Amino acid sequence: MSSFAVYTSGFTISSIRHAENPLAYSGIIMIAIFLSMLACVWLYYFFYGRHLKLQPISNKRSLSLLSMLKTLKNPYILCLCASLVIFTTLTNILEVAIKDKDQVRANYLLFIESYLYSQGLLLVTTNLLGLRALHYLGWARTALITPITSIVSTNFILCLYALYPHYQYHVDLPAWIVAIINSSGYSIQTLTINHLNMGLVVVILVHAVKYCFFDATKEMAYLPLNDKLKAEGKAAVDVFGTRFGKSAYGVLQYILLSTTHATRMHDLLNYMAPFVVLLSITWIIVTYNLLRLYAEYSTDTDERYYAHST
């Protein structure tokens, strides 16, 4: 459903882009979404929730910040948290580099509209394929898909932006593709490949891999752990990994902008390059250790299971 929601949000952006007053229209849409959410909650309570008799949980245990930090001392949990931080940081660097292009800055809503349409369609497709991949490849091989895709694509796009700032290539489309496009009402003979098109394809691919493989393998990584470490580890990874990953790039960009006096992301590529390479190497080491520790925890779980069953 979340993948379908991404696709349908493209229609919302399209309606905002064609509105006479996009700001006022956006406010109306936000109010309508808020009221719809309230209606869904009320309907759920009216038809189902009010009939439930919930018992108060007296022994509920809340995890403190200190206990979460202690949980990160576990190498396995630390590797999970580091993977999430590195992935989020690299993805933010890639997205900001693409959105900094002049074509995007000139018509941002059109870019977001195309981005959401394409991402939603690809997410729906890859989510259907994700379960098959886990079944045939297993957890370890599926877990490698996200680091490989993110590291290769991020380094490739940033190198292309830095070395070939005005890259553009025209490809003549086959006659049967031109006929299909012309039948839909558009007229196109050649395909233009430039920074924006390549970056858009790459960032959509990274997000599709994230929702399809990374999220699934991350949740499955807790299965070999005992109940206590599973609960505390998931809480620590969700709190520190997600939030620190989102803020790490912002802090880095603020420091670079303050020290270099640059005004565009393109001016920071030379300073970003060593940091991106360092993150990529670190992620490779973290992934190697994560796979090794996962195998060890899985072996211990199997031994405890067989010992208990006998």
Average pLDDT over residues 283-301: 87
Token code pair at residue 75 = 């190498």
According to the model, what pLDDT value does residue 187 have? 57
CATH number of 67-309: 1.20.1250.20
Average pLDDT over residues 98-113: 70
248 φ/ψ sector (left φ>0, alpha ψ -120 to 50, else beta): alpha
Pairing of strands 168-172, 190-194: antiparallel
Q: 309 pLDDT exceeds 50?
A: no
Q: What is the pLDDT of residues 128-186, one digit of tens each?
A: 766 677 777 788 888 888 899 999 988 888 887 777 666 565 556 566 666 665 665 55
Confidence label for 124 from pLDDT (cuts 50, 70 and 90): confident
Q: Domain residues of the chain, as ranges?
A: 67-309
According to the model, what pLDDT value does residue 55 have? 59
The DSSP annotation for 234-270 comes to: HHHIIIIIHHHHHHHHHHHHHHHHHHH---SGGGGHH
According to the model, what pLDDT value does residue 245 have? 77
Residues 6+ apart with CB under 8 A from 129: 212
